[in-house]
Structure 1
Amino acid sequence: MERQEDQALLRRELASLCEGSRYPRCAGLIQHGTTSVYQHCAGVAWISLRLARRLGWKVNTRALVRAALLHDYFLYDWHLRGQRPRWHGFTHPRRALCNALEEFDLGAQEQDAILRHMFPLTLLPPRSRIGWLICLADKWCGLCETLRVPYSWAPVEKFDIPFLTKLQKSR
């Protein structure tokens, strides 16, 4: 039952973020290997939820999902020299947070999780369980994507997000 509830929550939050925002652009930006920023963030959200359940941590799941979906909302192709700022790994959390705050209302835990998800690279550790879950899930997903080791995409791919469906068909 929890798994279905988590899938429904992730589906709702993805749809909500896509309405009237720049979030759909994430589907066209590559994060690691062949994985888009959209897929990466959805994967981080899913793994964060599953990890919270596994650890028995009681967290605000909506805040967890929203922060995970927005943690890499930097909106540029960091692989292209002319587009990315120097030191992307250090600077993109603040860029993602600024972009997210332009379009969405975020609570303190969500903001902190986005800003501190690159620990230990950025030396700022997360202050909440939500932040730690996203930080750990981000490392796991990034490793899997870089090494092209599959992890469960089924919950993400089954979501009927119109812009993503159109994008996948056009490839």
Structure 2
Amino acid sequence: MSHQKWSDDQEYLSYVQDLLDQPAVQKLANYTQHHHSTRLDHSISVSYRSYLLGKKWHLNVRALARAGLLHDLFYYDWRVTKFSLGTHAYVHPRIALRNAEKLTDLSAMEKDIIIKHMWGATLGMPKYKETVVVSLVDDYAAVDEYLMPQLHKLAHPFHRLEHAHE
């Protein structure tokens, strides 16, 4: 995969800049996602990684970039807020879709990506390869965002001990 930074990728930005300019999307920076990241950082990560895979595999990169960015467009702390309608895995994609539809017109593929990005934790089968990509990238990003800082913290005390005697 490319090591280019998302903010320097003009093609990627051509697909998502209008969304990134929206206060409703920028507001995601106010919410912690996986302990060590904001929901905006997480959404950009999922969006850009999905877009890069889509380029490699000749998929719909516009849908991957846009729906990837909007897949978690909700404004509550999922560790605290609970719903009587079902689990967070079931409820938040529906809230994200409703919020995304207020911002922009969505294709059928983009709607499928957003509503089914929790595939595996929910029952709705993806209709498109792009939906599977975003779902798997979202899982990868969640593990990466949560686990890598934890592993770094675990390794860090040993690193300090090694250098304490220098």
Normalising by structure 1, we get a TM-score of: 0.75
Matched, 1:79 2:50: no
**Cα RMSD for the two superposed structures:** 2.3
Q: Residue 68 of structure 2: SS of its match in structure 1?
A: helix
After TM superposition, list the pairs within 5 Å mapping 1:10-159 onto structure 2: 10-53=12-55, 56-81=56-81, 84-85=82-83, 87-148=87-148
Contact 1:32 / 1:142 at 8 angstroms: preserved in 2?
yes
Amino acid at match of 1:48: S
* Aligned-residue offset at 1:25: 0.6
Unaligned runs of 5+ in 1: 151-171
Letter of the 2:32 counterpart: I
- Aligned partners of 1:41, 1:12: CA distance in 2, in Å? 17
CA distance in 1, matches of 2:11, 2:97: 22
Change (3 A) 1:41 1:20: closer
The share of aligned pairs that are identical, in percent, is: 33
CA distance in 2, matches of 1:100, 1:61: 18
In our comparison, the structure showing a higher alpha carbon Rg is: 2
- Runs of 4+ aligned structure 1 residues displaced above 4 Å come to none
Cα distance change on mapping 1:52 and 1:21 into 2, 3 Å: same
* Rounded Cα–Cα distance in structure 2 between residues aligned with 1:39 and 1:135: 17
Aligned equivalents of 2:67, 2:141: Cα separation in 1: 15
Letter matched to residue 71 of structure 1: H
> Residues 149 and 50 from structure 1, CA distance in 2 versus in 1: closer, same or farther, beyond 3 angstroms?
farther
